[in-house]
Structures are given as C-alpha cells and as structure tokens.
Amino acid sequence: MASSSPDPFFLLIFLTLFLTISTSNSLSSSSPSPLSSPSPKPSPISTPRTHSSSSILDPNQLKALQSLNIPTGKTPCSPSHNTTTICDSSTPFSHIVSLNFINCSDDVALSLTALKSLSTVKDLGFYNCPISPIRLPSQLALNLKSFTCVSSLKKLTGVWLSKLVNVTDLTVSHVSIVASGPSIIMNSIKNLHSVTISNANLTGYLPKHWHSNLSYVDLSGNKLKGRIPSSLTELENLVYLNLSSNSLNGTIPASFGDLSSLQNVSLSSNSLSGSVPDSFAAIPRLVHLDLGSNQLNGTIPKFISDMKGLKYLNLERNNFHGVLPFNASFIKKLAVLKVGGNSNLCYNHSTLSSKVKLGIAPCDKHGLPVSPPASKDISSDDTDDSDDYADDESQHQEHSHGPSKVVLGISIALSSIVFIIIFLILLAKCCK
Ligand SMILES: *[C@@H]1O[C@H](CO)[C@@H](O)[C@H](O)[C@H]1NC(C)=O
Ligand SMILES: *[C@@H]1O[C@H](CO)[C@@H](O)[C@H](O)[C@H]1NC(C)=O
Ligand SMILES: *[C@@H]1O[C@H](CO)[C@@H](O)[C@H](O)[C@H]1NC(C)=O
Ligand SMILES: *[C@@H]1O[C@H](CO)[C@@H](O)[C@H](O)[C@H]1NC(C)=O
Ligand SMILES: *[C@@H]1O[C@H](CO)[C@@H](O)[C@H](O)[C@H]1NC(C)=O
Ligand SMILES: *[C@@H]1O[C@H](CO)[C@@H](O)[C@H](O)[C@H]1NC(C)=O
Ligand SMILES: *[C@@H]1O[C@H](CO)[C@@H](O)[C@H](O)[C@H]1NC(C)=O
Ligand SMILES: *[C@@H]1O[C@H](CO)[C@@H](O)[C@H](O)[C@H]1NC(C)=O
Ligand SMILES: *[C@@H]1O[C@H](CO)[C@@H](O)[C@H](O)[C@H]1NC(C)=O
Ligand SMILES: *[C@@H]1O[C@H](CO)[C@@H](O)[C@H](O)[C@H]1NC(C)=O
Ligand SMILES: *[C@@H]1O[C@H](CO)[C@@H](O)[C@H](O)[C@H]1NC(C)=O
C-alpha cells in the first residue's frame, strides 16, 4: 500500500512529537534561554498597545516624532523597540503624555523645535541614550511631572535640573552631574515625592531643608560630605533612604527614630562614627538596615532583635565590640546577617552554634573574643564573606531548580511514549 497522499493520522502523531520535543527543549534551557537571545527583531506590531488610539495623534506631534527618528507607522502611540509613547484621549487630536527613549542610537538629535511641539509630555525618560545634552523648552520643563535619566545625556548640570520645578519624581543615575550640591536641585522643585540622584559624582553637602512630602530618597554613590542633618529626620513619610557610598562623617542624628515610616535604609560605606542611636528602636516597620563599612562603635543594641519585620541586617566592617545580642531564632528569621569585620565583637557559644557562620570569634567568659583575630585580617574576612554569600545563593538556587527538573522529566517521559506509539504504528504498517 504505497499511497503518496500523507496519512492525516500520521501527520498528527508527528506534530505531537514535534511539539513535545520543542516544549521540553525550551523548558530545559529555563532562564538563560538561547531561544530569546539571538537578534530580537523589531516587531512593533506584536508589542502590546498601551493606548487603543481612538483619536488621531496631533499632526504637529507626529511630525516631531518623525523628526526625532522615532518609527511612527500606523500606531505612533504604542511602544516600539527603542521608544515608548503614551497618548491621552483628547479630541479631535490626542497628545503625547509620556515619552521614553530606550537604547537609542547615538545619531539621534533632539531639536528644540521638535521638543517645543512635544510640550504636552508629562513623563520624559532616557534609558541608556548617550546622546548630547538637550535644551529643554521652558513650556516642556514646566509641564514635566516625572523625569528619568539613566546612563544618558552624557552630563547634566544642577541649573538644568533645577528648571524642572513641577516634577514629583526625579531619577538621575549613572550620569555625571555638575552642581554645588543636591540643594540647588532639590530646593527648586516644589513638590518632590521621590528623588534618586545616584552614581552621579555629585559633590557638596546634604540639604538642610527637605520637602516634607518626600517618601523616597536615594543619593547613593556620590561624593557628598559632612554630617547627616537632623532636619532629615523630620520626614515622617520617608519609606526609603539610601545614602550609601558617600563621604559622610559625624554621628547618626539621635532623632533618627523619628523617621517612623522608614522601611529600607542604607548609610553604608561612609565615615560615620559614634554608636547606633537608641531611637532606632522606635522605627516600627524596618525591613532593611545597612550600616556596614563605617566607623560606628559601642555595643550592638539588643532592641534590634525586637524588630519584627527585619529581613536584612548589615553591621559589618565597623568598630562594634562586646557580645552579639542575638539568639538563634532571630538569626534564622533574617535573610541576610553580616557582622564580620568588627574585631572586638564576639558571639556567646553557649547560645549560638559555631555552625552559624558569622565571621566573628566566640567570646570568653569576660565577653571578649577568645582568639584575638590577629591572623584574620581584612583580606581573609573578604573571602569569608563572599563564601557565606555564595553558600546562601547556591541554596536558594537548588530550591528553585527543583520544579523545572520535574517538568523536564515529565516532558522526556511524554516524548518517549509518543516515540513508542509511532514505532508501534510503523511496525503495524510494515507488517501488514
Ligand atoms: C536595551 O539594551 C539592553 C542591553 O543591551 C537590553 O538588555 C535591553 O533589553 C534593551 N531594552 C530595550 C527596551 O530594548
Ligand atoms: C530607533 O531605531 C531605529 C531603527 O533601528 C533607528 O533608525 C532610530 O534612529 C532609533 N531612534 C532612536 C530615537 O534611537
Ligand atoms: C508649574 O509651575 C509653574 C510656576 O512655577 C506654574 O505656573 C505652573 O502652573 C505649573 N504647571 C503645572 C502643569 O503644574
Ligand atoms: C565619576 O568619577 C569617576 C572617577 O573620577 C569616573 O570613573 C566615573 O566614570 C564618574 N561617573 C560618572 C557617572 O560620570
Ligand atoms: C504634599 O502632597 C499633597 C498631595 O499629595 C499636597 O496636597 C501638599 O500640598 C503637599 N505638601 C507640600 C508641602 O508640598
Ligand atoms: C543603595 O544604593 C546602592 C547603589 O547605589 C545599592 O547597591 C544598594 O543596594 C542600595 N541599598 C538599599 C537599601 O537599597
Ligand atoms: C567631617 O569632614 C569634614 C570635611 O569634609 C571635616 O572638616 C570635619 O572635621 C569632619 N568631622 C568629623 C567629626 O570627622
Ligand atoms: C527593601 O528591603 C527588602 C529586604 O532586603 C528588599 O527585598 C526590598 O526589595 C527593598 N525595597 C526597596 C524599595 O529597595
Ligand atoms: C566611639 O567613638 C567616639 C569618637 O568617634 C569616641 O568619642 C567614643 O568614646 C567611642 N565610644 C566607645 C564606646 O568606644
Ligand atoms: C530570641 O530573641 C527574641 C527577640 O529578642 C525573643 O523574642 C525570643 O523569645 C528569643 N528566643 C529564644 C529561644 O530565646
Ligand atoms: C552566654 O550565655 C550563657 C547562657 O545564657 C550565660 O550564662 C553567659 O553569661 C553568657 N556569656 C557571656 C560572655 O555573655
């Protein structure tokens, strides 16, 4: 029976086999998937639309987009591979309210004329767009509610940023900023809720006056110096504070605990001295506390172990001394605990097992480290820490690999069954 027309039943079986194998392939290469990496083709049609364009985009704005080299096509109000555009639904023409440039090519020039006709934009963002700095028309500058610049525009000045007087959210990161300090920027903006100026080589001192509405402040990775002003602790809406990797010195303000909304705080990698203020005990919802790599001294306060929500605690590389006041159940509850690099700190070996790797020595009966960690210098601490971290990571990874292995196994089993069925059918056909 050598019929040339393909057997539909046969085709079905092959299709099933093919699907099973390709499914199991894509599963086995779960996260670093080779399938997704080769040249993501620009396909604006398949990207989800953010706005069902019921009305037509203002012709002037359409022209401006085209002059900026933004692929417009049929749906200018939808994301393409290097921009996202969101429009309002006003009539007769809709207007652009959000414009974000992503991974743009370096030949893009944002002309003043084009930007002038885009002054309806409220949310402007540049992500990885190392184009030349732009002149913002004042109408656009006044209209902006949110401005983001990440690894873009090469260089910004405090004067340029201080023109964005109406923004509530300001993010500038990995861009060098020339300014006398954060004050010139932050004090010109009238209603700032969230500010990130990080890894910007910003110099100067922390502001003396802060907007009472601030809930998010990230000034990490700059060259800020001087003390932390106690006026900062009046921000009762502040949820997030990151001042890490600057050159701040002096003590942590005693009123720090007035920051009653605070959840995540990092003051790490500065030159802060003195002890941890008792008022920290009054911060009810602290989740993340990083005071590492400073010159803080005194004992580690016992009240830290009463912080119910705490998940991350870093006190490493300071000058803390005495007995670590934590028990095993508190340590187990934390996702991360770092206390190494405090040469006069020790743990009570009758309450804590040495299996909990802390990077500090056990105490003698006077509460002093038993073997002065003379041989254990900074360099060996380094490796200890990274080892601990690696241990943690590998454990987590083992857990998360479990289910995908099961799925892979099932897929292999399924494809084998399909193989056997085909084999049997072939056998039946040829023996007819
Ligand atoms: C931008 O480029 C980075 C790295 O080249 C890539 O990971 C990212 O997905 C790109 N983003 C967009 C929206 O194309
Ligand atoms: C977006 O990508 C297109 C094609 O890759 C390019 O011609 C255009 O200059 C890019 N636009 C921007 C704003 O980077
Ligand atoms: C922005 O601020 C200016 C003056 O500082 C004010 O006149 C204007 O109404 C504000 N614009 C918006 C859109 O809030
Ligand atoms: C900050 O300064 C350092 C050294 O002076 C330089 O390597 C780095 O690129 C600068 N960062 C930015 C965002 O310009
Ligand atoms: C704080 O924000 C509210 C609304 O979010 C606003 O009414 C109020 O004026 C702001 N206060 C200050 C001091 O900017
Ligand atoms: C603070 O910022 C640094 C980098 O700028 C980052 O590595 C760190 O995770 C941040 N800390 C918190 C508490 O978010
Ligand atoms: C903090 O640093 C400044 C210089 O930036 C210095 O004048 C001052 O004495 C330092 N203060 C303390 C307490 O170390
Ligand atoms: C706050 O800290 C927790 C615990 O470390 C972390 O999971 C979370 O992402 C942080 N939140 C922010 C906004 O950084
Ligand atoms: C902590 O350091 C400060 C100076 O930075 C010093 O005055 C104080 O005596 C030190 N306290 C302890 C308990 O070592
Ligand atoms: C461990 O410390 C916490 C917080 O101080 C306390 O609530 C708990 O009872 C202690 N657990 C044990 C077993 O001592
Ligand atoms: C260690 O803990 C035991 C039992 O809680 C206690 O009797 C002892 O005094 C503690 N040692 C030090 C040095 O604190």
CA-nearest residue for atom 13, ligand 9, is: 298
What is the pLDDT, as a whole number, of residue 241?
98
pLDDT at 91 over 70: yes
List, in order, residues 6 or more apart from 372 with CB less than 8 Å away: 343, 361
Find out whether 102 and 83 touch, Cβ atoms under 8 Å.
Answer: yes
Find out whether 191 and 214 touch, Cβ atoms under 8 Å.
Answer: no
Average pLDDT estimate for 230-258: 97
Rounded (10°) angle between helices 8-28 and 378-430: 170
Average pLDDT estimate for 393-418: 52
Residue of 53 and 263 predicted with greater confidence: 263
Find out whether 277 and 301 touch, Cβ atoms under 8 Å.
Answer: no
Average pLDDT estimate for 38-64: 54
| C-alpha dihedral sign at 245, 249, 254, 255 | negative
C-alpha closest to that of 171 among 187, 193, 188: 193
User: What is the 327 CA–ligand 10 centroid distance (Å)?
Assistant: 6
Q: Identify the band that residue 432 occupies on the pLDDT scale cut at 50, 70 and 90.
A: low
- 163-198 pLDDT per residue, tens: 999 999 999 999 999 999 999 999 999 899 999 999
Average pLDDT estimate for 422-426: 68
- Give the distance, in angstroms, between the CA of residue 268 and the centroid of all CA atoms in the same chain: 17
Q: Identify the band that residue 430 occupies on the pLDDT scale cut at 50, 70 and 90.
A: low
**Mutation to probe ligand 3, out of 166, 168, 187, 189 (largest number of atoms < 8 A from CB):** 166
pLDDT at 322 over 70: yes
What is the pLDDT, as a whole number, of residue 259?
97
- 346-390 pLDDT per residue, tens: 999 989 988 888 999 999 988 899 875 544 443 333 333 333 333
Is residue 130 in contact with ligand 4, taking CB distance under 6 Å?
no
* Pair of tokens at residue 290: 């990083």
Distance in angstroms (rounded) separating the CA atoms of residues 389 and 406: 27
Residue of 14 and 60 predicted with greater confidence: 60
Ligand 10 is surrounded, with C-beta below 6 A, by: 305-306, 327, 329-330
| C-alpha dihedral sign at 383, 362, 287, 320 | negative
Q: Which long-range contacts (CB under 8 A, 24 or more apart) does 154-158 make?
A: 154/130, 158/184, 158/185
User: What is the 130 CA–ligand 11 centroid distance (Å)?
Assistant: 59
What is the pLDDT, as a whole number, of residue 75?
72
CA-nearest residue for atom 3, ligand 6, is: 220
- 99-136 pLDDT per residue, tens: 999 988 877 778 888 999 999 999 999 999 988 888 89
Find out whether 85 and 76 touch, Cβ atoms under 8 Å.
Answer: yes
Taking the CA of residue 323 as reference, the ligand 11 atom at the shortest distance is: 14
User: What is the 201 CA–ligand 4 centroid distance (Å)?
Assistant: 6
Is residue 171 in contact with ligand 4, taking CB distance under 6 Å?
no
What is the pLDDT, as a whole number, of residue 108?
76
- 342-356 pLDDT per residue, tens: 999 999 998 998 888
Average pLDDT estimate for 392-403: 36
When the pLDDT of each residue in the chain is averaged and rounded to a whole number, the result is 80
Rg of the chain, C-alpha, whole Å: 30
CA-nearest residue for atom 12, ligand 7, is: 250
| Range of lowest pLDDT (274-278, 293-297, 418-422) | 418-422
pLDDT at 206 over 50: yes
What is the pLDDT, as a whole number, of residue 77?
80
Average pLDDT estimate for 307-321: 97
CA-nearest residue for atom 9, ligand 4, is: 176
Average pLDDT estimate for 297-301: 97
What is the pLDDT, as a whole number, of residue 386?
35
User: What is the 180 CA–ligand 7 centroid distance (Å)?
Assistant: 18
pLDDT at 308 over 60: yes
Distance in angstroms (rounded) separating the CA atoms of residues 185 and 365: 54
* Pair of tokens at residue 416: 């084998």
What is the pLDDT, as a whole number, of residue 110?
85
Domain-wise residue ranges, the chain = 122-376
- 92-101 pLDDT per residue, tens: 888 999 999 9
* Burial 370-384, CB ≥16 within 10 A → b, else e: eeebeebeeeebeeb
What is the pLDDT, as a whole number, of residue 27?
36
CA-nearest residue for atom 6, ligand 9, is: 274
Architecture of domain 122-376: Alpha-Beta Horseshoe (3.80)
Ligand having the closest approach to the CA of 126: 2
β partners of residue 224: 204
Residue with tokens 């090519």: 105
Is residue 240 in contact with ligand 8, taking CB distance under 6 Å?
yes
Distance in angstroms (rounded) separating the CA atoms of residues 18 and 12: 10
Is residue 351 in contact with ligand 11, taking CB distance under 6 Å?
yes
Is residue 142 in contact with ligand 3, taking CB distance under 6 Å?
yes
Is residue 165 in contact with ligand 3, taking CB distance under 6 Å?
yes
pLDDT at 414 over 60: yes
SS3 for the chain, per residue? Answer: CCCCCCCHHHHHHHHHHHHHHHHHHHHHCCCCCCCCCCCCCCCCCCCCCCCCCCCEECHHHHHHHHHCCCCCCCCCCCCCCCEEEEECCCCCEECEEEEEEECCCCCCCCCHHHHHCCCCCCEEEEECCCCCCCCCCHHHHHHCCEEEEECCCCEEEHHHHCCCCCCCEEEEECCEEECCCHHHHHCCCCCCCEEEEECCCCEEECCCCCCCCCCEEECCCCEEEECCCHHHHHCCCCCEEECCCCEEEEECCHHHHHCCCCCEEECCCCEEEECCCHHHHHCCCCCEEECCCCEECCECCHHHHHCCCCCEEECCCCCCEEECCCCHHHHHHCCEEECCCCCEEEECCCCCCCCCCCCCEEECCCCCECCCCCCCCHHHHHHHHHHHHHHHHHHHHHHHHHHHHHHHHHHHHHHHHHHHHHHHHHHHHHCC
What is the pLDDT, as a whole number, of residue 412?
65
Residues of the chain with pLDDT > 90, as a percent, come to: 56
Is residue 322 in contact with ligand 9, taking CB distance under 6 Å?
no
Q: What pTM was estimated for this model as a whole? A: 0.78
